[in-house]
């Protein structure tokens, strides 16, 4: 098959995401589904911490695969075969995460080591000279982190968390130890891939709404809850894709290549962790809240919903700071307003909390858009 069968070219010559990469993203987002269900069944601080730890580790390697396909298009049968092997590894990780601490840690560890080795192999064999050299600089830290994850699967109790936290520390320090040079970042493809995984993850919140209403009677109350739940999800979508998606790509593209790779690593690597974790917790909170709207919420359900939305917005604020986008404080304000709705869910009703999140957070985001428009900012969504 030719390159045209698996990739698309933009007007400026940059490659767009292929359908195989979208397929890969769908497999990865299954981990978000698994985490959401796991937290819904055990909405505790310990569960939240475990999910955050495991997700951050998995996200590092997923992000590595985005950098891989940004450099090495899956345009030959050999490359596609290796990428599918990586998909199998991520699917195995997703299957293992709900019980990784108690029963499937060994599977989780070896699957993580597998995706690490596959990533390095394809980069080394198919990447350009500079990218091959760069991945060999990163490989020692990646393998060290993977070995820590494997060991964590074999030990028990707090030792498991110790080894996995060690893996995360190694991962976090990796760019500082090995540098980010050697990679040629194609901004359109890179930003498109991250936008795709974010929108697919937001779709998990839709599943949360649907699962919460699966056995409910279709009356007026039913449709009010649907409207409120989908409005909250829409607000999360709009807060990033209304302006930040386009402005982030433009800001990244304007940087020289030497600065672009590190900015991309922070903005789309580190800052996306709280954004995606926010979607996990918000989706779990919606699943626990929807269908129970006339009742008072438990603290865990109310905090998951408002805290998830807030965490998502905090990640966006960090994204704006990293890329020099205006008014990150407006996203922080929206996050604070979201957190303040927690008491409404606990002491009034879950309907009240859902409605409050939709109103106050959206009001803050609309105000931000108005300020931007008056200042001469634009985007394809605001143009109409």
Q: Which residue has the higher pLDDT, 19 or 363?
A: 363
DSSP structural state of residue 182: T
Least Cα distance to 178 among 131, 239, 135 occurs for: 135
What integer pLDDT is reported at residue 338 of this predicted model?
Answer: 95
DSSP structural state of residue 53: H
In this prediction, residue 314 has a pLDDT band, given cuts at 50, 70 and 90, of very high
Report whether pLDDT(179) > 60: no
Tokens of 130: 């500079």
Report whether pLDDT(276) > 70: yes
DSSP structural state of residue 17: P
pLDDT tens digits, residue range 86-121? 899 999 999 999 888 777 889 999 999 999 998 888
How big, in percent rounded to 5, are the helix, strand and coil portions of the chain? Answer: 80, 0, 20
DSSP string for residues in 280-311: HHHHHHHHHHTT-TTSPPPHHHHHHHHHHHHH
Tokens of 152: 């964590």
In this prediction, residue 176 has a pLDDT band, given cuts at 50, 70 and 90, of low
Of the listed ranges 73-87, 118-132, 191-205, 245-259, the least confidently predicted one is 118-132
Which residue carries 């985001």 as its tokens?
365
DSSP H helices, 6-99, are 19-41, 45-71, 77-96
Query: d(Cα 248, Cα 147) in Å, to the nearest integer?
Result: 35
Coil, strand, or helix at residue 46? helix
Query: d(Cα 274, Cα 140) in Å, to the nearest integer?
Result: 26
What integer pLDDT is reported at residue 259 of this predicted model?
Answer: 83
Contact, 289 vs 345, CB < 8 A?
Answer: yes
Strand partners, 15: 9
Q: Mean pLDDT throughout 142-153?
A: 93
Q: Mean pLDDT throughout 2-23?
A: 59
Report whether pLDDT(372) > 60: yes
Query: d(Cα 110, Cα 88) in Å, to the nearest integer?
Result: 12
Which residue carries 């809850």 as its tokens?
225
With both helix axes pointing from N to C terminus, report the angle between 257-264 and 187-212 in degrees, rounded to the nearest 10: 10
Q: Other C-beta atoms within 10 Å of 150: how many?
A: 19
What integer pLDDT is reported at residue 245 of this predicted model?
Answer: 93
Query: d(Cα 336, Cα 232) in Å, to the nearest integer?
Result: 15
What integer pLDDT is reported at residue 197 of this predicted model?
Answer: 92
Coil, strand, or helix at residue 214? coil
In this prediction, residue 12 has a pLDDT band, given cuts at 50, 70 and 90, of very low
Q: Mean pLDDT throughout 169-189?
A: 75
Contact, 308 vs 63, CB < 8 A?
Answer: no
Count of alpha carbons within 13 Å of 377, Cβ hemisphere only?
Answer: 19
Q: Which residue has the higher pLDDT, 87 or 288?
A: 87
Report whether pLDDT(83) > 90: no
Count of alpha carbons within 13 Å of 134, Cβ hemisphere only?
Answer: 21
What integer pLDDT is reported at residue 365 of this predicted model?
Answer: 94
Going from the C-alpha of 127 to that of each of 94, 133, 331, 336, the distances in angstroms are: 28, 9, 38, 44
pLDDT tens digits, residue range 184-237? 788 998 999 999 999 989 987 787 677 666 677 777 877 887 888 889 999 999
Q: Mean pLDDT throughout 363-378?
A: 90
Rounded to two decimals, what is the model's pTM?
A: 0.90
State percent of the chain over pLDDT 70: 88
In this prediction, residue 131 has a pLDDT band, given cuts at 50, 70 and 90, of low
Tokens of 373: 């428009």
If you average pLDDT over every residue of the chain, what do you get? Answer: 85
């Amino acid at each position: 098959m030719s390159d045209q069968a698996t990739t698309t070219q933009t007007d400026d010559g940059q490659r767009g995401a292929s359908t195989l990469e979208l397929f890969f993203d769908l497999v990865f987002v299954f981990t978000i589904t698994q985490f959401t269900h796991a937290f819904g069944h055990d909405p505790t601080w310990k569960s939240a911490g475990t999910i955050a730890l495991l997700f951050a580790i998995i996200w590092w390697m997923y992000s590595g695969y985005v950098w891989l396909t940004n450099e090495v298009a899956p345009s030959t049968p050999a490359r596609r075969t290796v990428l599918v092997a990586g998909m199998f590894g991520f699917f195995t990780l997703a299957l293992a995460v709900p019980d990784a601490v108690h029963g499937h840690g060994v599977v989780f560890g070896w699957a993580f080591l597998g995706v690490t080795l596959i990533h390095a192999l394809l980069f080394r064999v198919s990447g350009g000279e500079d990218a091959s050299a760069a991945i060999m600089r990163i490989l020692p830290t990646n393998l060290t982190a993977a070995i820590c994850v494997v060991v964590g699967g074999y030990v028990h109790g707090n030792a498991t968390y110790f080894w996995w936290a060690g893996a995360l520390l190694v991962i976090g320090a990796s760019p500082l130890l090995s540098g980010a040079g050697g990679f040629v970042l194609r901004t359109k493809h890179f930003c498109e891939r991250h936008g795709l995984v974010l929108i697919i993850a937001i779709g998990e919140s839709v599943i949360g709404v649907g699962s919460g209403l699966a056995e409910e009677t279709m009356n007026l109350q039913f449709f009010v809850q649907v409207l409120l739940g989908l409005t909250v999800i829409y607000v999360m979508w709009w807060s990033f894709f209304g302006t930040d998606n386009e402005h982030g790509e433009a800001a990244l593209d304007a940087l020289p290549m030497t600065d672009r790779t590190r900015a991309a690593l922070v903005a789309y690597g580190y800052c996306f962790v709280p954004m995606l974790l926010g979607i996990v917790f918000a989706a779990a909170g919606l699943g626990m809240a929807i269908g129970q709207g006339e009742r008072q919420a438990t603290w865990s359900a109310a905090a998951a919903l408002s805290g998830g939305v807030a965490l998502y917005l905090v990640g966006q604020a960090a994204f704006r700071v990293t890329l020099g986008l205006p008014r990150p404080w407006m996203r922080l304000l929206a996050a604070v307003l979201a957190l303040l709705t927690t008491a409404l869910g606990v002491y009034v009703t879950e309907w009240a909390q859902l409605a409050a999140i939709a109103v106050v957070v959206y009001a803050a985001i609309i105000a931000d858009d108005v300020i931007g428009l008056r200042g001469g900012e634009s985007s394809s969504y605001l143009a109409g």
